[in-house]
Amino acid sequence: MTGDGANPGEGSDQLAFGRGFFGDMVLGRAEWDIRTMNFDDDLKRAEAKTAQTVDAANPDLGRFKATGGKLIQYHGWNDSMIPVPSSIQYYEEVASKMGGVPQIQSFYRLFMAPGMDHCGGGVGPNAVGGVFNLPPPKHDAEHDVVTALAHWVEDRVPPAQIVATKYQDDDPSKEIAMQRPWCPYPAVARYSGQGSRNEAGSFQCTAPAPANQ
């Protein structure tokens, strides 16, 4: 994510993102170098040129809901590229705008993934299908996010949880090392006290503990 070696940042995904965005999308100069960036002027240029297309900051999803849209969003708790609280903050802003979490869970659910890195990978279970993740052991609505979304749209059944899988050595050809449920925010997966901690059935989606505990 951050690169290594004697020149910090070189070879990192973060630097590639910056060069790709400012060099190609904003300034149209492939040779653009972050060390020459003018933070005030270049940020204003970026907002003027791309904000309307790429920013996802508007919490009013009323039109999306009215047309029957369904949205599954997930974010790895170990993501070092996009701040984890940003997804929670946006979800809560949508809830505040549209009448509370119970009102938006009918069309929009956020799943926070323990141990998962940026879009996939990491020490925790992360195989749920989709674009970046490893394939799940079963392509059903319980294990695969795309199938879960299709099931929600076509059959009107929202995902109560998504079971993420961790393969041995992150190799789908090898055995399953563990599985854990991802729960719709603000619910969290808690160990029931019975069964193996490597099995999804040993966990239940429950309300989060009060902040003072």
pTM score: 0.87
pLDDT at 69: 97
pLDDT tens per residue across span 157-209: 999 999 999 999 999 999 999 999 999 999 999 999 999 999 999 999 998 87
Phi then psi for 189, rounded to 5 degrees? -85, 125
Tell me what pLDDT residue 8 has. Answer: 62
Residue for token pair 């099931």: 151
Q: Report residue 193 as tokens.
A: 């006290």
The pLDDT assigned to 200 comes to 97
Residue 42's closest CA among 26, 19, 28?
Answer: 26
pLDDT, tens only, 22-65: 999 999 988 888 888 888 899 999 999 999 888 888 999 999 99
3-state secondary structure 121-139: CECCCCECCCCCCCCCCCC
